[in-house]
Copies of this chain bind each other. A is one copy, B any other.
Amino acid sequence: MPDTKRFIDLLNFIRSETDRHLQKLDFPEEPAFLYDPIRYVLKGKGKGKRLRPLLVHLSGRGFDADPEDLMHAGLAVELLHNFTLVHDDIMDKDDIRHGKPTVHMKYGQAAAILVGDSIFTLGQLNIEQVQTNTIQATHAYNKASLAVCEGQAYDLQFEGDTTVSLDQYLVMISRKTGALLSLCAELGGILGNQSHEVCHKLHTFGLNLGRAFQVQDDILEIFSDEENLGKSLESDVAADKQTVLTISARKHDGWDEIKNLTGDISAKRERMQSFFIETGVEARARQMSSNYITKAMDSLSVFSGEHKRAMEQFTHFVLNRTH
């Protein structure tokens, strides 16, 4: 499909430009305590997918936004994302990220806290450089940052709390995953000088994309065949993390028994898969994700022509990452 090829080429182009600009960020040698781990996060091998800058650029191109503005905003959201990963990894006690030791494992916890703080500040130094609607862009950036902190706080607060409802879970993922994707889509509109109404629709698009993404993530955690996605099952289940599946499973007989299974993790995973399928928990979760995708797609009416098509393709690209 030439259309698909053109889209993939576009993604690769934006991604390589983003990486090139990240490589160009000029850090001093000293203090090495701070800048060695910052280089490790931002310039090391095993890079991220740059989904968030991609969304900023695709959204902004739909409104003919200035490419330099989009680059600054794309870097700002990627830096914000990396800041949250570095700090979340400390809080969640995760050892590995993108196949490499996490910052706190490699450089110690004090360094990791400072690295997160500094990468967030680097993000701020980028968002303030956009020339179009600077204050509106900065405000959206800061509101999203606070929402992401709230989302992570809910996530930690909900750990081990088996009274958490599906509504509470949805509030959590709307902040933790939705707020940043909302920001990315909205920044395209802000930098493209769009009305409050259009920006709001873009925000809604990102929010529902984020919800669909997170619900799907919960499903893949249990149902993906890929090793890398299954890796954190043990720690998540051990921590009694709330997912769309475990919350829905609670009202079905037999869940407690499965949840408390010890021993072989693969065997436990298979029992959970069967349980989620037999009780309809998995089907309902897939339906929920599908509903959010539909809502997201509805908001794409603010785009037209090839740009609308690109945003639709991006949505599929994000959500069809693996099965």
Which residues of A are in contact with B by a Cβ distance under 8 Å?
30-34, 83, 87, 90-91, 109-111, 113-114, 116-118, 120-122, 124-125, 128, 134-135, 138-139, 142-143, 145-146, 149-150, 152-154, 156-157
Contact = CB atoms under 8 A, between A and B. Distances in A.
A117 B149 contact: yes
A91 B109 CA distance: 8
A138 B114 CA distance: 20
Among A30, A33, A134, A135, the most chain B Cβ lie within 10 Å of the Cβ of A33
A176 B118 CA distance: 14
Nearest to A113: B87
A72 B102 CA distance: 37
B120 A91 contact: no
B121 A142 contact: yes
Contact of A121 (B90, B146, B152, B154): B146
Contact of A114 (B30, B110, B153): B153
Contacts of A31: 150, 153-154, 157
Nearest to A168: B30
Given A142-B124, A145-B121, A110 B135 contact: no
